[in-house]
A and B are shown apart, each in its own frame.
Chain A
Amino acid sequence: MKERVFRWLSRFPLHLVLIGAALVWLTPSVGLLVSSVRPYEAVIRTGWWTVLAHPFDFSQYTLQNYREILLTQGMAQAFRNSLLITIPSTIIPIGIAAFAAYAFAWMEFPGRQVIFAIVVGLLVVPLQMTLIPLLRAYNRLGLAGSYVGIWLAHTGYGLPFAVYLLRNFFGALPRDLFESAYLDGASELTAFFRLALPLSVPALASLAIFQFLWVWNDLLVALIYLGGTEEVAPLTLKLSSLINSLGQNWHLLTAAAFISMALPLVVFFSLQRYFVRGILAGSVKG
């Protein structure tokens, strides 16, 4: 009993710091959430923290902002467009990056380090630099305004980081594992599919989340390569077009942020268990 109390006390400062950090981290999001359920008249007059004075007075909350956004014409279409852009733009780069990363990590071929250095070097190229030349090429190829075009664009922008992350992960897998597989007669392809990939689920999952979020939240790339017409515009474009040219109706964006956050949250929590699982648990049996 005494010991427990002592342990609790000795950990108390640590917990306090952690809780404090979490609170600070969450404050902006909480503020956004509170603002999204307050009426415009209140938002422009007082800060969101004023609701804390009497948080259970429910008459000060309203779902009007959410209603207004969800009932906007074409919202379902925009949601569908977003999925249509995001899912392939997540799968394609991860697929390519996995193959590339395996080759960089475990296959011997001339110029391997140089090519890898170039790929990693591409990380620092700002994507804005590529907009004009790439769009010009797309116009030639007839890819401007097509989904294929934007999938390829997102694939290109996502690949350097994906290859870098996966190569490091693959490279950290125990060499013995691959050697014993080769000794047993496994080909490179078998080693990739049966060893490297299953062991890298945590890395693949975190990469999938990164890429998914980046594409889902993207506004610029879609605006440039796809255009902002109703038929193709993703959710981000649709939401930004709710705002008038001088920013009238900005209060709708508070609710819009939570609406567009919904799906990424689902993706995150459904992939989250892969992080927790022990990375190499049970891979090498005696």
Chain B
Amino acid sequence: MLRKGYWIGLSAILIVGLLLTACAPKTVTVTVEVPVERTVEVPVERTVEVTVPAPKGAITVLGVWGGDERVAFQDAVAPFSEQTGIGVAFEGTRDLAAVLTTRVEAGNPPDIAILPNPGQLYELAEAGHLVPLDSFLDVNQIAADYGQSWVDLASYDGHLYGIFYKVAIKSLVWYNPKAFEAAGYEVPTTWDELIALSDQIVADGGTPWCIGLESGPASGWPGTDWIEDIMLRTAGPEVYDQWVRHEIPWTDPAVKTAWETFGQIVRNDDYVWGGTTGALSTNFGDSPAPMFDDPPGCYMHRQASFITGFFPEGLVAGEDYDFFPLPPIDPQWGTPALIAGDVVVMLNDTPEVRQFVEYLAGPEPQEIWAGLGGFISANKNVSLDAYPDDLTRKMAQAITTAEVARFDGSDLMPAAVGAGSFWSGVLDYVGGTDLDTVLEEIEATAVDAYGQ
């Protein structure tokens, strides 16, 4: 009896499986070209059925965006689809590098990819997988819209391969204006004032800084931003560039000074909320939260413009939180801006994709997204009125008008250093390892990584 029941069960399962096999994939598979001889034989009803729902012809976009970014991007490209009838299918994954490499190697790259940093752009361009954008975009228009540094960063071997899209400025110190006012603190304008303010806060029984270095497998990167920012202020942009290109070793005094300056803050247990242990074990996104407690757990937090997405809900920009630029250290280098951004690249050259890239580069979609928040454009002709609040406007202005801007160095270094030994080096240093040891270790990996 039982066996019979089992028999029936098994065959039922098999039948269901077969049915699913038979009916599910129709829409997707058949769109791939059928050999010509065959199409002749196929009955008319069938060919009709096949061509109906396929959203092929839609432009495929692979990017790192998710959540409200994904929604905002879809809103931003909606007018394009309406005007041209060309659909845009967005695929998001935070593991972009792996998926994109696989797709490219397997021969079906997406039409457009949105890379989180220019490092992969250079790799893809070198391998010949990218379409040079200056082959069809109006170069003068690009020059008028984007600052030269953005164009240079997205160029490889004399050709423009990318458009910087969603950019961020990293040289910001966030603070809580209400807490500052209550304690009678002033926004510092020089490094000495910043340190004096930190000492003042400690003397008043508070903690000046919130620092969080934990970020899963990428732990340590917030520290690299600190060091890069300081390096720009102590050694200047030329030395910074040499350092990023590994023309000076990691053991160079200029590099060492930057680390030591960072160490003065992060390795001082009085300065950092939770001390070095707190800095090492707190997630970067969670770390600014104590700033908004009453009494404040800390008063300042150096982080990029995107950190506002992690702030507790219900805070008002400009009232509950505000920022000041990380102050200059050596007056001759002023207040340079450390920047980062996602870059749009093109992998398939078709007229539709060209049209789409032209649309993306222009101000219209960027103004739509800017209005939805969480977006800063690198395009100078995106109206500042498009941003939802004064704070974002201030950041956008800082990016497009910065006299000296440098891209996040760790994003430009070879991955073994910029996404490897530099990150772990920061953690070791904060954890108490001797600075010379840390720098020698990074130097050893850099010699390997750049040598290739």
Q: For the complex, give the distance between the alpha carbons of A257 and B16 in Å.
A: 29
A87 and B69 contact, CB distance less than 8 A: no
Starting from the known contacts A147-B24, A223-B93, A247-B285, 16 additional A-B residue pairs (CB-CB under 8 Å) come to A44-B312, A88-B17, A91-B17, A135-B103, A135-B106, A139-B108, A142-B32, A146-B28, A147-B28, A198-B3, A227-B60, A228-B92, A229-B90, A232-B28, A245-B66, A249-B68
A45 touches B6 (CB 8 A): no
**Stretch from A54-62, A117-125, A172-180, A236-244 forming part of the interface with B:** A236-244
List the 9 closest pairs (A to B, CB-CB), nearest first: A142-B32, A135-B106, A228-B91, A248-B309, A44-B286, A244-B67, A245-B64, A146-B29, A146-B25
Is the pair A246, B14 in contact by a Cβ cutoff of 8 Å?
no
Nearest CB on B from A226, distance (A) = 9
> A40 to B313, Cβ gap below 8 A?
yes
Give which listed residue, A40, A148, A247, contacts B25 with CB less than 8 A.
A148
> Which residues from chain B contact A193 at a C-beta distance below 8 Å?
7
Chain A neighbourhood of B188, CB < 8 A = none
A229 to B94: give the CA distance in the assembly, Å.
14
Residues 352 to 386 of chain B near chain A (Cβ within 8 Å): 374
B66 with A242: CB separation less than 8 A: yes
Q: Are the CB atoms of B116 and A245 closer together than 8 Å?
A: yes
- Kindly state whether residue A132 has any CB partner on chain B within 8 Å: yes
Find residues 72-122 in chain A having any chain B CB closer than 8 Å to their own CB.
84, 87-88, 91-92, 95
CA separation between A247 and B64, bound complex, in Å? 10
Please judge, given known A-B contacts A242-B67, A245-B69, whether A136 and B107 are in contact too, CB under 8 Å. Answer: yes
**CB contact between B102 and one of A132, A240, A242 (< 8 Å): that residue:** A132
- Asked whether A136 and B106 contact (CB < 8 A) given A44-B286, A245-B116, A248-B285, the answer is yes
Let me know if B290 is at the binding interface, CB within 8 A. Answer: yes
A130 CB to closest chain B CB (Å) equals: 11
Q: Which of A45, A84, A92, A250 contacts B285 (CB 8 A)?
A: A250
B 307-329 to A, binary, CB cutoff 8 A, 1 in contact else 0: 00110110000000000000000
Is B349 located at the chain interface by the 8 A CB criterion?
no
Residue count of chain B within 8 Å CB distance of chain A? 56
What's the nearest-Cβ distance from chain A to residue B78, in Å? 15
Q: Is the CB of B66 within 8 A of A244?
A: yes
Contact A151 B99 (CB under 8 A): no
Is B415 in the interface zone, CB < 8 Å from A? no
A244, B65: Cβ atoms under 8 Å? yes
Q: Which residues of B contact A95 (CB under 8 A)?
A: 14, 17
Question: Which B residues, 1 to 32, have Cβ-Cβ distances below 8 Å to chain A?
Answer: 2-3, 6-7, 10, 13-14, 16-17, 20-21, 24-25, 28-30, 32
Q: Tell me, yes or no, whether B142 is within 8 Å of chain A by CB.
A: no
Scoring B16, B66, B313 by chain A CB atoms within 10 A of each residue's CB, the highest score goes to B66
Beta-carbon contact of B69 and A198 below 8 Å = no
A3 in the interface (beta carbon within 8 A): no
A-B contact pairs, 26 of them (CB 8 A): A41-B289, A45-B289, A45-B290, A84-B24, A91-B14, A136-B105, A139-B106, A139-B108, A142-B30, A143-B29, A197-B10, A220-B95, A223-B93, A223-B95, A223-B99, A227-B60, A228-B91, A229-B89, A229-B91, A240-B66, A242-B67, A244-B67, A244-B69, A245-B65, A248-B306, A248-B310
Chain B CB within 10 A, most for which of A143, A224, A227: A227
A132 and B106 contacting across the interface, CB-CB below 8 Å = yes
A67 contacts B by Cβ under 8 Å = no
Please measure, in the bound complex, the distance between the C-alpha atom of A224 and the C-alpha atom of B106, giving whole angstroms. Answer: 10
Q: Is A184 an interface residue (CB 8 A)?
A: no
| Chain A 162-215 interface residues, beta-carbon cutoff 8 Å to B | 193-194, 197-198, 201
Q: Are B14 and A88 in contact (CB under 8 A)?
A: no
**Residues of chain B lying within 8 A (CB to CB) of residue A197:** 6, 10
Interface pair A44/B309, CB less than 8 Å apart:
no
Give chain B residues whose Cβ lies under 8 Å from the Cβ of A244: 65-69, 309, 374
A84–B309 Cα distance when bound, in Å, is 35
In the complex the two chains form, is A135's CB within 8 Å of B102's CB? yes
Chain B nearest Cβ from A80, distance in angstroms: 11
On whether A145 and B28 interact (CB within 8 A), knowing A88-B17, A91-B14, A248-B285, the answer reads: yes
A228 CB contacts on chain B under 8 angstroms: 62, 91-93
Q: Is the CB of A241 within 8 A of B6?
A: no
B14 pairs with A243, CB closer than 8 A: no
For A249, list chain B residues within 8 Å (CB): 67-68
Q: A135-B106, A146-B25, A198-B2 are in contact. Are A245 and B342 (CB under 8 A)?
A: yes
Beta-carbon contact of A88 and B21 below 8 Å: yes
Nearest Cβ in chain B — how far from A159, in angstroms? 16
B431 within 8 A of A: no
Most buried by A among B16, B17, B62, B89: B17
Q: Is the CB of B102 within 8 A of A201?
A: no
